[in-house]
């Protein structure tokens, strides 16, 4: 995710998005994952030279990345999206402050797992496939991917607030998918989120994605299994709970009743009543994003009188 906290810091991105042709290029890369320059030019009905400047601006903005590969006609430039999400903060609300922590996806504090399920580090499977007992193995804290068909994972988020500070917003950024035997790109699953046992809402994962190797998957990871997920931004503030900017419930930050001495426990689980298609969470050594679970706390400082 590209997160623009100050408008001026995103000037290059805004300029890159000001062209209809560059928007069309991004739409193509969204549809096809990756294309070389000739393929992009052909699909847009333009010459290679006509799109070179547009590709350069998109690369400079960080919206796309380019790698080189040897093709039939020599060296080719392959273009693909650098990130799937762009978030822009337009307005400050008072004296906001923020801290952020990154928690390994295997460093959960509580769980319930039913097969198909398992854990993997960057080096190997922990224990064996489909055996929930290994979720209690001490090595689970090193897991870079965790999957289960039914159940949940709960993470403890550190609370660093002081008595004169108040919670304004919680954010969680994570790469998620469903969990199907092997993989299935069309395998919906209702994934439910909660903080301190207050249910926040549900996001429906469209599938458990395979076919294409995950960008950061280790070489030993089998190609017939799931490969990557979708990056999701969950936000809870005074206006409600949002996934990628879309309201999923009216639960507000006030409903969770957080204060400086209270634990923050974030739970991700599979709905028991909806589409039960499982859950996979990817860490920085798996999937398409080099990150684990990111938790961000935004707070206000209250002046003492």
pLDDT, tens digit, for every residue of 42-52?
A: 999 999 889 99
The per-residue pLDDT for 90 is: 67
The per-residue pLDDT for 91 is: 59
What total number of domains does the chain contain?
2
In a domain, 87, yes or no: no
Average pLDDT, the chain: 91
Q: Are 19 and 8 in contact (CB under 8 A)?
A: no
Between 304 and 239, residue with greater pLDDT: 239
Residue 237, pLDDT > 80, answer yes
Q: Does 53 share its domain with 96?
A: no
The per-residue pLDDT for 9 is: 65
Compute the CA torsion angle 256, 257, 258, 260 (nearest 10 deg): -170
Residue 158: give its domain's CATH number: 2.60.120.260
In a domain, 120, yes or no: yes
DSSP per-residue codes, the chain:
-EEESSGGGGHHHHHHTT-HHHHHHHHHHHHHSEEEHHHHHHHHT--HHHHHHHHHHHHHHTSEEEEEEEETTEEEEEEEES-S-EEE-----SSEEEEEEEE-TT--SEEEEESS-EEE-SS-BSS-TT-GGGGGSGGGGG-SEEEESEEEEEEEEP----TTEEEEEEEEEEEEE---SS-BSS--EEEEEEETTEEEEEEEE--BB-SS--TT--TTS-TTS--B-EEEEEEEETTEEEETTEEEE---HHHHT--TTS-EEEEEEE-SSS----EEEE-TTSTTSS--EEEEEEEEEPPP-
Query: In angstroms, rounded to a whole number, what is the distance separating the alpha carbons of residues 22 and 269?
Result: 38
Identify the CA nearest to 222 among candidates 275, 183, 269: 183
Q: Does 135 share its domain with 251?
A: yes
The per-residue pLDDT for 138 is: 97
The per-residue pLDDT for 304 is: 64
Token pair for residue 240? 């409600």
Query: In angstroms, rounded to a whole number, what is the distance separating the alpha carbons of residues 156 and 133?
Result: 21
Which among 81, 113, 142 is the end of a domain? 81
Query: In angstroms, rounded to a whole number, what is the distance separating the alpha carbons of residues 147 and 180?
Result: 9
End-to-end Cα spacing for the chain: 40
Residue 62, pLDDT > 90, answer no
pLDDT 10s digits, 212-228: 899 899 999 999 999 99
Distances (CA, A) of 268 to 39, 93, 191, 248: 40, 28, 7, 15
Locus of tokens 């504090």: 109
In a domain, 229, yes or no: yes
Q: Does 116 share its domain with 46?
A: no
Buried b (16+ CB within 10 A) or exposed e, 246-261: eebbebebeebebeee
Query: In angstroms, rounded to a whole number, what is the distance separating the alpha carbons of residues 136 and 174?
Result: 22
Q: Does 238 share its domain with 153?
A: yes
Residue 15, pLDDT > 90, answer no
- Residues 49-73 have a mean pLDDT of 85
- Residues 28-36 have a mean pLDDT of 89
pLDDT 10s digits, 97-119: 999 999 999 999 999 999 999 99
Residue 72: give its domain's CATH number: 1.10.10.10
Q: Does 171 share its domain with 112?
A: yes
Q: Is the pTM of this model over 0.85?
A: no
Which among 62, 81, 100 is the end of a domain? 81
Domain enclosing residue 75, as ranges: 2-81
- Residues 21-30 have a mean pLDDT of 93
Residue 211, pLDDT > 90, answer no
Q: Does 96 share its domain with 13?
A: no
Torsional sign, CA 170, 172, 178, 181: negative
pLDDT 10s digits, 128-184: 999 999 999 999 999 999 999 999 999 999 999 999 999 999 999 999 999 999 999
The per-residue pLDDT for 76 is: 86
Between 32 and 159, residue with greater pLDDT: 159
């Amino acid at each position: 995710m590209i997160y623009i906290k100050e408008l001026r810091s995103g000037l290059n991105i805004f300029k890159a998005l000001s062209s209809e042709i560059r928007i069309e290029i991004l739409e193509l890369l969204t549809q096809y994952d990756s294309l070389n320059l000739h393929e992009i030019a052909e699909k847009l009905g333009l010459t290679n030279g006509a799109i070179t400047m547009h590709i350069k601006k998109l690369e400079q903005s960080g919206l796309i990345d380019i790698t080189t590969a040897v093709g039939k006609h020599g060296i080719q430039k392959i273009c693909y999206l650098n990130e799937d999400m762009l978030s822009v903060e337009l307005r400050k609300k008072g004296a906001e402050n923020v801290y952020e922590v990154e928690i390994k996806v295997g460093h959960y504090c509580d769980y319930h797992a039913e097969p198909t399920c398992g854990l993997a580090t960057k080096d190997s499977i922990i224990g064996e496939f489909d055996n929930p007992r290994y979720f209690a193995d001490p090595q689970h804290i090193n897991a870079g991917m965790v999957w289960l068909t039914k159940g949940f994972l709960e993470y403890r988020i550190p609370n660093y607030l002081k008595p004169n500070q108040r919670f304004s917003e919680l954010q969680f950024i994570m790469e998620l998918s469903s969990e199907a035997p092997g993989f299935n790109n069309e395998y919906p699953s209702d994934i439910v989120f909660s903080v301190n046992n207050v249910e926040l809402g549900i996001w429906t994962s469209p599938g458990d994605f395979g076919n294409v190797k995950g960008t950061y998957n280790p070489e030993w990871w089998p190609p017939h299994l799931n490969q990557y997920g979708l990056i999701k931004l969950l936000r809870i503030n005074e206006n409600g709970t949002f996934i990628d900017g879309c309201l999923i419930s009216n639960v507000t930050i006030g409903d969770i009743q957080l204060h400086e001495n209270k634990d923050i426990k974030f739970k991700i689980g599979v709905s028991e009543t909806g589409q039960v298609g499982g859950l996979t969470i990817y860490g920085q050594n798996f999937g398409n994003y080099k990150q684990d679970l990111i938790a961000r706390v935004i707070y206000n400082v209250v002046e003492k009188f």
